[in-house]
Amino acid sequence: MTESTSTLQVTTMTTKTYTGLWQTCWRKTFSVQNDYGCESILDTPKDTDGLKAVQAVTTIGCVIILVTIVLSIIDLFCFDKSSVMMKIVGGLSIFAGLVLIVGPIVYGVVVREGYKFEILDLDIGFALIILTSALAILAGILACLV
C-alpha cells in the first residue's frame, strides 16, 4: 500500500497601479517575487482630452515659473530696487500659480472619472502641485508688495 500526500500552495498576487501625467507604472507582488514596469500614456486610450489639458496647463505653469525665476535673477543683478521688473515678476508668478492650480482641479474632476480611482488614491505629486501653485501665488503677492 502506498501513501501519498499533496499540499495545496496558494499564491497570492496583488497589483498596484500608479498613473501620472506621462506614464503608468505598476507593481505586481507575488508570494515569491515582485514585478515592476512602466509604459507611456501617450497615444493610448488613457490619453484623453482631460489628461492632455492637465499636461498642457502643468507644463505652461512650470515654464512660466522658470521665466519668473530668470527674471528675478536678472532684476537682482541688473536693475535698481525700485524697478518695475519686480511687479512684472510678481504678476507672472501669480498667473503661473493660477494656471498650475487648474491642473489638479481638472485631474481630480475629469480625469479621475475615466480612470475609476478614488480621491484618496492620489499620491504626493498631487499635493506637491497644489503646494507649488499656492507658493507661486504667495511669492507673486510678496513680489508685488516690494
Longest CA–CA separation in the chain, Å: 102
Q: What is the pLDDT of residue 82?
A: 64
Answer whether 0.85 is exceeded by the pTM: no
- Average pLDDT in the 75-79 region? 82
Q: What is the pLDDT of residue 4?
A: 47
Q: Residue 10 pLDDT more than 70?
A: no
Mean pLDDT score across all residues of the chain:
81
- Cell numbers describing residue 91: 504678476
Q: Residue 9 pLDDT more than 70?
A: no
CB 100 within 8 A of CB 132: yes
In one letter, which amino acid is 90?
A: G
- Average pLDDT in the 102-124 region? 74
CB 54 within 8 A of CB 111: yes
DSSP β-bridge partners for residue 38: 25
SS3 1: coil
Which pLDDT tens digit goes with each residue over 13-29?
Answer: 777 777 777 887 878 87
Which pLDDT tens digit goes with each residue over 23-48?
Answer: 878 788 776 677 788 888 777 777 77
